[in-house]
Structure 1
Amino acid sequence: MSELNLLVADDHPLLRAAVVHSLRQGLPQVNVREVASAEALEQALDQHPDVDLVLLDLTMPGAHGFSALLHVRGAHPDIPVVILSSNDHPRVIRRAQQFGAAGFIPKSVPPETIGEAVAAVLDGGLWFPAMAAERSDADALLASRLAQLTPQQFRVLLCLADGLLNKQIAYTLGLAENTVKVHVTAILKKLECHSRTQAAVLVKALEPEGDAGLV
């Protein structure tokens, strides 16, 4: 078997260490990289295009719930993402699946289960616990709208959600202010929002227990 390149994204060092140990115990010839924030995740994927799978926590710094999942799926659609979370409510699991995750591993599972789940996804399958929650049309609509955004527009949207002004967004992302204005206009159009506040509310809906509230 050729070497597998996995990326574990979680801001808790002890949890990362436990996950890495489980992966190395369960999968032969595995190379594991670790990051602790949404920004570091994005940089790692840009620098290492050979990543085969991402294990992603939902509560990292810089992430708005499922925003990191959606960003990875939009910018790197060929890389499967498996959510690793302590919040295993059926609705959270269902939302992860609707937003493009290939699997969902509760942090409460036995260590050997992590390797089994990752192996199943790497084989082209899906790995989810049994779910009682039903599919949400609002989440499906939200996901389809967000999928229209380019990776740069998604970054701008997250800055909007943090309440940054165009000048601040330009400084944060290294863009010209006029470029930010163009992105904001395109974002509002694609998301069918009439204001920056309305767009920020959509990002809030990406929180694990958020309600998209779309019509």
Structure 2
Amino acid sequence: MPPPTLLVADDHPLFRAALIQVLHERFAPLQTLEAASAATLGQALQDHPEVELVLLDLAMPGARGFSALLHVRGEYPQVPVVVISSNDHPRVIRRAQQFGAAGFIPKSAPAEDMGAAIRAVLDGGSWFPPMAAERSEADAALAAKLAQLTPQQFRVLLCLADGLLNKQIAHELGLAENTVKVHVTAILKKLECYSRTQAAVLVKSLETEPEAAP
């Protein structure tokens, strides 16, 4: 059997290097890949179907809160995602779980906990720190709505949230403008939104809360 391939997605090169060192110390042999933005994360997953686990920082260029997590879970449902974040507020942890993460590791966690969490997920389980936040029915409903979107529709939705016009979205994603119009219509219907502004507000709700005080 070939060694497992893990993808570390974080925009801080020093943290990526430290995490990769932990991985190689605890999971030899092992292949690791790196991504520093939402765009390079998507490209790496497209280029490397052998990836067995994504270790994902929520705060990366091109990501809006939980958008990268939702995108990976929607486009690559067979690949588990462990969120690694400096924001370990209970509600952030709970939302990551409801939006499809298989685990959540605070960046402040000791290397032993990181290793245990990653091993649990590689073995088909999950790992989350103790949480005080209650399950949110609103988040569950939002996750269900977003799960109806195709990967391309999700990309169009993020462009909508950035305030881009159809023509600009077409240029950004390499689509025909009429195709964008069809996607926008489908997105609004699936999300039960009456306007582009309402859809943009929905995307804003994916953003994480301010970092918890130390």
With normalisation by structure 1, the TM-score equals 0.96
Residue by residue over 1:9-48, the C-alpha shift from the partner in whole angstroms, topping out at 9 and shown as x without a partner, is: 0000111011111111111111110000001101110111
Q: Secondary structure of the residue that 1:52 maps to in structure 2?
A: strand
List aligned pairs for 1:125-164, cutoff 5 A.
125-164=125-164
Contact 1:56 1:81 (8 Å CA) reproduced: yes
Root-mean-square deviation over aligned CA pairs: 1.0
Contact 1:104 1:128 (8 Å CA) reproduced: yes
Give the drift of 1:112. Answer: 2.7
List aligned pairs for 1:23-34, cutoff 5 A.
23-34=23-34
Matched AA of 2:167: K
Q: 1:119 — aligned with what?
A: 119
Q: Distance in 2 between matches of 1:138 and 1:85?
A: 23
Q: Distance in 2 between matches of 1:118 and 1:64?
A: 24
Residue by residue over 1:146-186, the C-alpha shift from the partner in whole angstroms, topping out at 9 and shown as x without a partner, is: 00000000000000011111011000000000000000000
Give the drift of 1:2. Answer: 3.7
Give the drift of 1:209. Answer: 2.2
Which aligned runs of 4 or more in structure 1 are off by greater than 3 angstroms? none
Matched AA of 2:135: R
Q: 2:81 — aligned with what?
A: 81
Q: Distance in 1 between matches of 2:179 and 2:30?
A: 41
Matched, 1:209 2:209: yes
Give the drift of 1:115. Answer: 1.9
Q: Distance in 2 between matches of 1:111 and 1:2?
A: 25
Q: Distance in 1 between matches of 2:159 and 2:2?
A: 39
Residue by residue over 1:98-149, the C-alpha shift from the partner in whole angstroms, topping out at 9 and shown as x without a partner, is: 0000000000011232222111101011000000000000000000000000
Q: 2:97 — aligned with what?
A: 97
How many equivalent pairs are there? 210
Q: 2:55 — aligned with what?
A: 55
Deviates more, 1:152-161 or 1:110-119: 110-119
With normalisation by structure 2, the TM-score equals 0.96
Contact 1:26 1:116 (8 Å CA) reproduced: no
Q: 2:193 — aligned with what?
A: 193
* Structure 1 gap ranges (5+): 211-215
Q: 2:110 — aligned with what?
A: 110
Matched AA of 1:101: A
Q: Distance in 2 between matches of 1:194 and 1:146?
A: 16
Percent identity reads 74
Q: Secondary structure of the residue that 1:55 maps to in structure 2?
A: strand
